[in-house]
Structure 1
């Protein structure tokens, strides 16, 4: 119930933010609700303690990668965060680490529905990286971070997505090591799917100006993981 309520609240705030002239003001609330929903859904399979520990492992992994990235440019490429999101530790906004945790759990569930062992890690990493096809263009548009050089995809370098695959795989490993089995599916698959649908609609019809390219790229990429994950979960 807590997961569903948090997801509904997050959806409502997403809608409000899409209609506001200053959508950046809602980022922290949206990510906090995303994180709360993910942890609550994960607790269905793992219990509250293991769900919180798995979330914490993803958050710490994401923070370490972001800190190294800000300081060295590895593995994403050279970028920096602006002063919009606070608080920050070492130049990394804390809310960004919560996003790694929340969507990390959702992507782990997608990977768990599709495969086992290293296949789970690879599928989960791909699912999480697919979300970044939406995330980076949106956050650059809002002025939350900037890249040192223009890249191929809406000003974002391809090294960013290679870095996301690497860090996402580490996030999957961290979650799996802490949480173990049984793998979560259910609510976390709903969360992943809702994010895919909302981001697609937002870029296609809500944001001004609209961006059909990002809507198509992100929607197809996330859908390519969500659709077979649902099919596998229904067959069990």
Structure 2
């Protein structure tokens, strides 16, 4: 399963590079997310057994979908927004690929937290939630550029309201708590899942710093520093072993 995960991760990197260079990157967005989720599932299966990995992914996907479904109807927990019709298929107004992104990156963020704090469940849940929220510092500005969703009351961070990040922390805490309860050994370390988180941090930073047109140093710096912190915490613990 680790070899499969590595192959899927390599394919995701290739698709991510292509999407960054493509004049119409939306066409590759779904491919990137599908490969992300598949790679995360394969690495999680190697660390926790296939059944538990599938259950953890499904729980994260379902939680993310439920939060998005409620969000576009009530403004809770992220704020007032709606999806455009660019990403298909949609279920109840929420693109299916968005729910899969919650699952794939949820597993990766949890693994980064488990590597950083293997002996403390509360620390893993808290660090995992913050690590997943750090990814949204990249995700929201990028998706707004592509016209995938619209904020009804734009905020100060490249049009993203600050309350959105509070909502992300709340939902991410639930995602991490569910993953903790499902996997056989929550502290089991998966270098492959940490690698997914690392690759996303590096590629998003490089994309906003130099690849996207126009570049965005603010987002590159904010997202790179925040995701980079969790990358260093995760790998730092492994390197000291």
CA contact (8 A) 1:61 1:174 kept: no
Give the Cα separation in 2 of the matches to 1:230 and 1:17: 28
Equivalence for 2:165: 161
Give the Cα separation in 1 of the matches to 2:77 and 2:189: 29
Secondary structure, aligned partner of 2:88: coil
Give the Cα separation in 1 of the matches to 2:189 and 2:167: 26
Give the Cα separation in 2 of the matches to 1:235 and 1:105: 23
> In the TM superposition, what whole-angstrom CA distance separates every residue of 1:5-47 from its partner, at most 9, and x where no partner exists?
1111011011111111110111110000000110111111111
Shift of 1:176: 1.0
Q: How does 1:183-198 map to 2 (within 5 A)?
A: 183-198=188-203
Note the residue ranges of structure 1 that are not aligned, 5 or more in a row.
none
Secondary structure, aligned partner of 2:78: coil
Q: TM-score if structure 2 supplies the norm length?
A: 0.96
Shift of 1:110: 1.0
- Could you list the structure 1 runs, at least 4 aligned residues long, displaced by more than 4 angstroms after superposition: none
Equivalence for 1:128: 132
Root-mean-square deviation (Å): 0.9
1:43 to 21, 41, 45: 45
Answering whether residue 221 of structure 2 is matched by residue 219 of structure 1, we say: no
Give the Cα separation in 2 of the matches to 1:177 and 1:81: 31
Equivalence for 1:75: 77
Give the Cα separation in 1 of the matches to 2:57 and 2:84: 25
Q: TM-score if structure 1 supplies the norm length?
A: 0.98
1:228 to 210, 225, 233: 233
Give the Cα separation in 2 of the matches to 1:122 and 1:80: 28
Give the Cα separation in 1 of the matches to 2:33 and 2:5: 14
Give the Cα separation in 2 of the matches to 1:11 and 1:67: 29
